[in-house]
Amino acid sequence: MTNFDPWAAILERLDDAAKLVGLDPDILRILRTPRRVLEVAVPVRMDSGQVEVFTGWRIHHNTTRGPAKGGLRFHPQLDAREVAALAAGMTFKTAVANLPFGGAKGGVRCDPTQLSSTELEKVTRRYALEIMPLLGEDRDVPAPDVNTDGRVMAWLMDTISTVAGMSEPGSVTGKPLSIGGTLGHTGATAAGVVVCVRAVFRETEIGIAGSRAVIQGFGKVGGPLAFLLSSAGMRVVAISDIGGAVYNPAGLDVAALSDHVRSHRTVAGFDRADALAADDLWGIDCELAVPAALEGAIDDHVAARLGAKVVVEAANGPTTLTADPILERRDVVVVPDILANCGGVTASYFEWAQNRQGYAWDEHTVAERLRAGMDRAFAEVWAKAETLGVGMRRAAFAIGVERVAEAIEARGLFP
């Protein structure tokens, strides 16, 4: 995981998709380079009185299909190559989900666990100001990602609106409901993952009831996912997070685990389960493994001893390039990130559409459209995989690349 280069990984997947679909080499050259890379200094007066200067980025990979869309990540190891890779992933993800967006990503290299709430707000607002030339509901619409949430999105929206001198709800998604967020946004990524789990289990003839799942990550995606999978009748037998891992072969009590995490900030120490070395989660014999933390989690070693029959990638870029063929050889079915986790950006699209309409949808409409969109995307990728005789990852990239290429051809190259 230490030498994992997410940008090199996404380029290799793009090149592979280009070969699969016979992509015009001129279009491949365009897609191998991000459209815009903005690096900003984020100076903040800390609670100590001293000024600290953080580094932030906002990267637009491609905006041919619509305004740039992608999350903001606050993480101590963030760098430009990771942000660029995540931005490119968004280009192909929005295309697979068939949403009218391009791909972007952004964030600040910082450790939010070491910042007070005041410092976090200052980092967010100053970062928002620095990247503001790129933002706007028709230009670039950020959303939450790792270590950012509705509160951060509210500060972002407020900063954009204050500078504009008018309310700009459509400039940010993942906002609280009180300022134009959508019903069903929290948990939308997890809900989309569950649609994919049901669909891939159906195709591979695995029953949901009683089958076992392991999840890496218990955050905004992994947390609601654990609830949804257990309410669907699965046994979530192991969960890990940054602090450790816990295991209960009878199925974890997810509600009790959530309470534990609320007071201890980690799953470690949960007394209704056995402690597990975080890495041992992957070896557990089960039907489903869901990486829902960071990139590069499933490397060669993990792939070689993975105990699951199916991997549904809730995280972005969780499987390394060299792990892919190992999983394939071992007949592990992988539902790739750009399909499996596109429920989040789909709900963001619904929020943006509601903000532009000035008309809020009810919860049923959001949930039903999300389910229908995910089902359609899964079916298209599954069918493409059968037609091309490849795994779902290569098929999803093929669909994404074809849709973006079609848009580039339709618009032509300026000047």
* Options 13, 126, 175, 220; binder of ligand NAD; rule CB under 6 A: 220
Beta strand pairing status for 274-276 and 244-247? antiparallel
Q: Which DSSP state fits 266?
A: S
User: What are the residues whose beta carbons fall under 8 Å from the beta carbon of 65, sequence distance 6 or more?
Assistant: 91, 94, 95, 99, 100, 101, 102, 403, 404, 407
Shorter beta-carbon distance to ligand NAD: residue 63 or 341: 341
Is 219 a binder of ligand NAD (CB under 6 A)?
yes
Contacting range for ligand NAD; rule: CB under 6 A; set: 152-160, 218-226, 302-310, 360-368:
218-226
Number of Cβ within 10 Å of residue 360's Cβ equals: 15
Contacting range for ligand NAD; rule: CB under 6 A; set: 52-60, 151-159, 195-203, 311-319:
311-319
Work out how close the CB of 166 gets to ligand NAD at its nearest, in angstroms, rounded to a whole number: 28
Shorter beta-carbon distance to ligand NAD: residue 211 or 240: 240
Q: Which residues sit opposite 241 in a β-bridge?
A: 244
Contacting range for ligand NAD; rule: CB under 6 A; set: 18-26, 247-255, 308-316, 351-359:
308-316
Is 218 a binder of ligand NAD (CB under 6 A)?
yes
Catalytic residue among 19, 69, 93, 105: 105
User: What are the residues whose beta carbons fall under 8 Å from the beta carbon of 203, sequence distance 6 or more?
Assistant: 382
Residues 266-305, mask of contacts with ligand NAD (x by CB under 6 A): ------------x-------------xxx-----------
Classify 38 in phi/psi space as left (phi over 0), alpha (psi -120 to 50) or beta. Answer: beta
Contacting range for ligand NAD; rule: CB under 6 A; set: 56-64, 196-204, 300-308, 313-321:
313-321
* Options 16, 145, 168, 351; binder of ligand NAD; rule CB under 6 A: 145
Residue nearest to ligand NAD (CB): 219
Q: Which DSSP state fits 136?
A: B
Q: Are 327 and 335 in contact (CB under 8 A)?
A: no
Q: Are 181 and 190 in contact (CB under 8 A)?
A: no
Shorter beta-carbon distance to ligand NAD: residue 148 or 408: 148
User: What are the residues whose beta carbons fall under 8 Å from the beta carbon of 22, sequence distance 6 or more?
Assistant: none
* Options 242, 360, 388, 407; binder of ligand NAD; rule CB under 6 A: 242
C-alpha span between 186 and 149 (Å, rounded):
10
Residues 172-211, mask of contacts with ligand NAD (x by CB under 6 A): -----------------x----------------------
C-alpha span between 375 and 96 (Å, rounded):
12
C-alpha span between 278 and 137 (Å, rounded):
41
Work out how close the CB of 63 gets to ligand NAD at its nearest, in angstroms, rounded to a whole number: 19
Shorter beta-carbon distance to ligand NAD: residue 194 or 408: 194
* Options 34, 344, 391, 400; binder of ligand NAD; rule CB under 6 A: 344
Work out how close the CB of 89 gets to ligand NAD at its nearest, in angstroms, rounded to a whole number: 9
How far apart, in Å, are the Cα atoms of 186 and each of 112, 146, 181, 339? Answer: 20, 14, 10, 18
* Options 17, 123, 197, 221; binder of ligand NAD; rule CB under 6 A: 221
Q: Which DSSP state fits 39?
A: E
* Options 82, 241, 299, 324; binder of ligand NAD; rule CB under 6 A: 241
Is 146 a binder of ligand NAD (CB under 6 A)?
yes
Work out how close the CB of 38 gets to ligand NAD at its nearest, in angstroms, rounded to a whole number: 20
Run of H or E including 51: strand 51-62
Catalytic annotation on 69?
A: no
The residue type of 270 is F
C-alpha span between 80 and 70 (Å, rounded):
15
Residue 138 burial class via C-beta count within 10 angstroms: exposed 0-12, middle 13-18, buried 19 and up: exposed
Classify 184 in phi/psi space as left (phi over 0), alpha (psi -120 to 50) or beta. Answer: left
Closest CA to 301 of 332, 280, 286, 316: 280
Number of residues this chain uses to bind ligand NAD (CB under 6 A): 24
User: What are the residues whose beta carbons fall under 8 Å from the beta carbon of 395, sequence distance 6 or more?
Assistant: 381, 382, 384, 385, 388
Shorter beta-carbon distance to ligand NAD: residue 162 or 258: 258
Closest CA to 106 of 158, 151, 50, 42: 42
Work out how close the CB of 260 gets to ligand NAD at its nearest, in angstroms, rounded to a whole number: 13
The interface with ligand NAD within residues 99-128 (CB under 6 A) comprises none
Any idea which residues carry the catalytic annotation?
105
Using CB under 6 A as the criterion, which residues of the chain lie in contact with ligand NAD when the complex forms? 144-147, 189, 216-222, 240-242, 278, 292-294, 314-316, 341, 344
